[in-house]
Amino acid sequence: MPELPDITVYREALARFVVGRVLRRVHLSNPFVLRSVDPPLTAFDNSTVVDIERLGKRLVLVVENERFLVIHLMIAGRLRWLAQGKKPPGRISLVQFQFDHGAVVLTEAGTTRRASLAAVHGRAPLAAMDRGGLDVFASSDDALVDRLRSENHTLKRALTDPRLLDGIGNSYSDEILHAARLSPLLLTAKLDDESYARLIAAIRRTLTTWTQRLRTEVGDGWPETVTAFRPEMAVHGRFGMPCPVCGAPVQRIRYAENETNYCARCQSNGRLLADRAMSRLLRTDWPRSLDEL
């Protein structure tokens, strides 16, 4: 799922390409992507886009007269820019936002349709879509710590909970925890002040570094490659590969459709964290440390 750095770069590209332009039409290629009917999409025809906002991991096209088009990319949704006259990519196209000079196209790979579009009129219903997570750059250190301590979860779960913090998902939570040298399974209620200081610094540093890196990659163009897996990452998506800090093989915890990647030596004092499936299968043969592994 695109996270804060990716959403920020998308937002900036949308601002360059469509703010101040007249949205001629919103064309649905797949009607199931639309999650609201009031106001109808025809209410946005021939209206000027005045701003682009971010609402958590959602992107919001702000149209004149307090109307909003809210895009949630979910896992496989992506935005593409098509110059005037270009055809959208076949079956993966869900929505076209058509302008005189081209179109923004919402696409989604795969067969599971999770990406969505909502049409909203007025600030109050738009605010109701906010999950409530704190903006990590607009909030003080104390506010962030208080929010993380408000519920006793693992650090991995807390960082990715949109009700607690804003815009962090599976990818960057792995990178943040590696930078902070903290286990993803540590509980928020048991973390000491020094560890929280490292965590907050790592959150801001990691998100800032990656946002700047993606900005440089995109330049004045359009973000063509938005992915959760990048070779420059320290641990995310790098299971079995050497940690860039200590050289130990990156480990993983698998659950449902996701996995958490971490360095046992840097983050858990060499202790292997239990993979639910494999540890149940191997039972007493499950290695407890890098040395046993």
**Residue ending a domain, choose from 127, 151, 180:** 127
Are residues 185 and 101 part of one domain? no
Are residues 169 and 109 part of one domain? no
- Could you read off the pLDDT of 32-51 as tens digits, one per residue? 999 998 899 999 999 999 99
**Residue ending a domain, choose from 67, 95, 127:** 127
Residue 215 lies in a domain: yes
CA 171 to chain centre: 8
Are residues 266 and 162 part of one domain? yes
Peptide bond into 249 cis (omega under 30): no
Average pLDDT over every residue of 66-72: 96
CA 206 to chain centre: 13
Are residues 225 and 251 part of one domain? yes
- Could you read off the pLDDT of 194-246 as tens digits, one per residue? 999 999 999 999 999 999 999 999 999 999 988 888 999 999 999 999 999 99
Residue 133 lies in a domain: no
Question: Domain of 225?
Answer: 141-285
Helix H, strand E, coil C: the string for 26-78 is EEECCHHHECCCCCCHHHHCCEEEEEEEEECCEEEEEECCCEEEEEECCCCEE
| Total domains, the chain | 2
Q: Among 130-134, 164-168, 222-226, which stretch is predicted with the lowest mean pLDDT?
A: 222-226
Q: Look at 257 and 3; give whichever has higher pLDDT.
A: 3
Q: What is the pTM of this model?
A: 0.91
**Residue ending a domain, choose from 105, 127, 149:** 127
Whole-number pLDDT of residue 168: 96
Are residues 61 and 159 part of one domain? no
* CATH number for position 200: 1.10.8.50
* CATH number for position 70: 3.20.190.10
| pLDDT band with cut points at 50, 70 and 90 for residue 286 | very low
Are residues 149 and 120 part of one domain? no
Are residues 193 and 78 part of one domain? no
Residue 291 lies in a domain: no
Residue 230 lies in a domain: yes
Q: How far is CA 164 from CA 69, 143, 153, 183, 260, in A?
A: 24, 11, 11, 19, 19
- Given a cut of 60, whether residue 159 has pLDDT beyond it is yes
Residue 238 lies in a domain: yes
Residue 56 lies in a domain: yes
